[in-house]
Structure 1
């Protein structure tokens, strides 16, 4: 395979890909939790939460491919196993079926954790002059911060 010559040295590309791997792991864990809650939510707000969780996990699912493909464009393999995601994610698995209110609280925390992971990459991305990754991060931050706000509003 020909060497990659996109104007970002290999060391910086590796740092960015490693950071994006953490973001991918957080994003996948968030996706899985949200889909689980969609399946298992109960209570008086079932219809609205069930539909909202579906919208959220659908958006998250589509984002996974974008993040993984950016890692690949930088020249590194994207993580893709549960084992890798568990090791890389800052979000803990949810193995129980919490109440609807607890589900919303957990999702707020997971959305915010994913936003923090995305935000933590800007220093290395900016130093490497990597605008495509910066754009991806900005778009993901917008989604996670807005979704966290909407979920927090349910708890008010």
Structure 2
């Protein structure tokens, strides 16, 4: 059945295109955070192992919510590694070392990149594509990433 939610097909497609890029970024960040969880070494291993676990658990929920948002507006979410690598703004480059500070720095940069991407889409999605719901969703998601970035950034003080 056709999606009839008060947003034109063209606008829903434009919004979906941005959300698929975001989903790809979230998946890459999730994978990099899992890598940090699995491979961190050093005297702070236990603490950082648990910290990275809490971060990837949050990212898992975020990925699901972004994919579901794509579906709510009538499109299909990308779900292959090939698609994610084609769509992402992030790189797969890993930390040079397996110490917590290297992982923290890389993950912080990725969160900040996602925050900037989201922030740049909030108003256009509401104003240009008439999708206040997705705009509101993105605002909440941006705030979640800001909180996660704060937790990462606090390790550098």
Using structure 1 for the length normalisation, give the TM-score: 0.93
CA contact (8 A) 1:16 1:124 kept: no
| 2:121 corresponds to | 121
Runs of 4+ aligned residues of structure 1 deviating over 4 Å after TM superposition are none
CA contact (8 A) 2:122 2:136 kept: no
CA contact (8 A) 1:15 1:124 kept: no
Offset, 1:3: 2.0
Offset, 1:124: 2.7
| 2:140 corresponds to | 139
Using structure 2 for the length normalisation, give the TM-score: 0.92
| Offset from partner CA, 1:17-41 (integer Å, 9 cap, x none) | 0000011000010100001100000
CA distance in 1, matches of 2:54, 2:114: 17
| 2:33 corresponds to | 34
> Any stretches of 5+ residues in structure 1 without a counterpart?
none
CA distance in 2, matches of 1:95, 1:30: 11
CA contact (8 A) 2:36 2:52 kept: yes
Offset, 1:95: 4.6
| 2:61 corresponds to | 62
Q: Which moved more, 1:89-98 or 1:74-83?
A: 89-98
CA distance in 2, matches of 1:94, 1:33: 9
Offset, 1:85: 0.6
Q: Which moved more, 1:87-96 or 1:29-38?
A: 87-96
Offset, 1:7: 0.6
Task: Count the aligned residue pairs.
Answer: 155
| Offset from partner CA, 1:37-86 (integer Å, 9 cap, x none) | 00000111112211111001001001111101111111111111111111
RMSD: 1.4
CA distance in 1, matches of 2:49, 2:136: 30
| 1:82 corresponds to | 81
